Amino acid sequence: MVQPSFSHPRSDPSSSSTSNSPTAALDAFLDNQHQSYFEELYKSEAVCLCILRSLPPVCRHLILHHLWSHMPLRTTEVKSFLQLDVHTQLEVVDEIVRPALNRKIIHPMIHKKNKFYWPWNDAFKKGLRNALTGLGTSNSFGVPFDRPDDVELPSQEDLVAYGEEAFEGILKYMVSSGLGIGFSVARPQAEVLELLHISGLMIDPTDTTGENPNLNKMTITSKGFQFLLEDRQTQLWEILMYYLTAKEANSERSAEVLSMFFSLGCMQLGQDYSASKSFPHALSALNDLAQYGFIYRPSPDSDQFFPTHLATALCSGDAAATKGQEADEKRFLILETNYKIYAYTSNELEIAILNLFVDIRIRYPNLVVGKLDRKNVKSAMEKGISANQIISYLSSHAHPQMYNSPPPLLHPTIVDQLHLWDRERNRLKTEDTVMLEFFSKELFEDTENEAKANAALQLSVSTQKFLFIEPQTKAAITDFVKERQNQLRSGF
């Protein structure tokens, strides 16, 4: 099957990079941090464990291979373990361990006594060793709550339901604000709305300055629509990173909060933990997370809390692998080559998301039938959703039956058509402009050169002596024209 070139999201690197990995937001955040930040993070064993798992496999095994050695990581050893030639360029080897360097697991290469090596970051090494042996002292895997044994605990299903309800409530609120569909949604709490505003997922259209939004009247932005189409884990990490950036903007220390996220990710669903003992320095952040459904507290002021599946699945590489039945629930879409979509779902949120780009014709209690058509897809694209996002949504939610036909999963006709609709939208674009009309050819050419030199030129039509320039340069250009006109006139 010949794949047309535009099927590859090369033209849109930003969207492709976010769809690659669910932790892309986290990676971007960590890439910008300094050594001291990591030193702070690696005090927690849970962080060491999660960071190790986020490395690419080759790098990860290199680290584990040398973990118990008391020597620094020598380039010669790495080369021979990777079956590379002894004379391989150092840059090549450096590139292989780049992910570990970026996470400051090892320090940059050092040359001493004729040997090239990367020194270990001792904090990380110690942390990972302690994680494996269980000898740490930082309580990073959560201190269980001290309670009598006979107390009734919420079951795992209860916790999943609670977390799902809380987070989907926020998503539903976002969708309904954009579409005006009437499902009854409880408005999320003010802090949540504030974060949604700061992160740019929702705005108040009446508020032009963007500083004093009316939190009750916010509507979803195109960024918000894109957010909706991501898979759950990506959404969670994005939200957490918005939260973290907001904290940093208030010049609060975020390392402890981030290390708490990782700790939550290593906790056990169905187990209760003590908030004050587990996270003595991040209690307020923990309270904030409760609003998103990451944790469940039996009563608001109690020390006891239960992480929900949102929190415990945070660090599991791919949520689909860990939660089998949940993954099955997510695979409900059948897409036919005639653009018909059958969605076996009764989830309000999924239907609302489908409604963004699908013309829904029939709705049964457990099945929604609709059609991908130009009008709806283009209106979705108007909202800022790209063709690639629709395609990745369709393929990640494809029903197991779809796998029975030979690959590719989605028929190329449909994929191509979506791209074509996307292109169609991009073919014309509107821009403000200022038109100048000239009668002297000389003056026209001089002004054209001047505008070109100042990157103000949009279009020039030399046959009719029209110039189109950027509106904000109008004053400067007219000044130039007047001056030039005077010079030319005085010349005669």
Long-range contacts of 215-221 (CB under 8 A, 24+ apart): 215/190, 216/187, 218/177, 218/193, 219/177, 219/178, 220/174, 220/175, 220/177, 220/178, 221/384
Q: What is the b/e burial string over 18-31, where b = at least 16 CB atoms within 10 angstroms of the residue's CB?
A: bbebbbbbbbebbe
Residue 152 touches another protein, criterion: CB under 8 A: no
Instruction: Name the residue nearer to another protein (CB basis): 61 or 441.
Output: 61
Measured distance CA(220)–CA(99) in Å, rounded? 35
Of 13, 134, 182, 365, the one binding another protein (CB under 8 A) is: 134
Q: In sequence order, which residues have a C-beta less than 8 Å from that of residue 211 and are 6 or more positions away?
A: none
Residue 95 touches another protein, criterion: CB under 8 A: yes
Among residue numbers 322 through 341, which ones bind another protein (CB under 8 A)? 322, 327
- Nearest approach, Cβ of residue 340 and another protein (Å): 21
Residue 41 touches another protein, criterion: CB under 8 A: no
Segment interacting with another protein, rule: CB under 8 A, options 84-92, 184-192, 214-222, 295-303: 84-92
x/- map, 280-319, another protein, by CB under 8 A: -----------------------------------xxxx-
Two structure tokens written together for 457: 């030129």
Residue 154 touches another protein, criterion: CB under 8 A: no
Residue 90 touches another protein, criterion: CB under 8 A: no
AA identity, residue 439: F
Residue 61 touches another protein, criterion: CB under 8 A: yes
Measured distance CA(447)–CA(144) in Å, rounded? 75
Residue 24 touches another protein, criterion: CB under 8 A: no
Residue 102 touches another protein, criterion: CB under 8 A: no
What residues are paired with 296 via a beta bridge?
306
Segment interacting with another protein, rule: CB under 8 A, options 28-36, 75-83, 201-209, 248-256: 75-83
Measured distance CA(436)–CA(441) in Å, rounded? 13
Residue 106 touches another protein, criterion: CB under 8 A: no
315 in Cβ contact with 53 (< 8 Å):
yes
E strands within 28-88?
73-74
Among left, alpha and beta (phi > 0; psi -120 to 50; other), residue 251 is left
Instruction: Name the residue nearer to another protein (CB basis): 78 or 481.
Output: 78
Of 320, 360, 369, 476, the one binding another protein (CB under 8 A) is: 320
Angle between helices 348-357 and 156-179 (to 10 degrees): 30
- Nearest approach, Cβ of residue 76 and another protein (Å): 12
AA identity, residue 441: K
Residue 395 touches another protein, criterion: CB under 8 A: yes
- Nearest approach, Cβ of residue 263 and another protein (Å): 10
Which parts of this chain interact with another protein (CB under 8 A)? 45-46, 49, 52-53, 56-58, 60-61, 64-65, 67-69, 80-85, 88, 92, 95-96, 128, 130-144, 149, 266-268, 271, 277-278, 315-318, 320-322, 327, 395-396, 398, 400, 403-404, 406-409
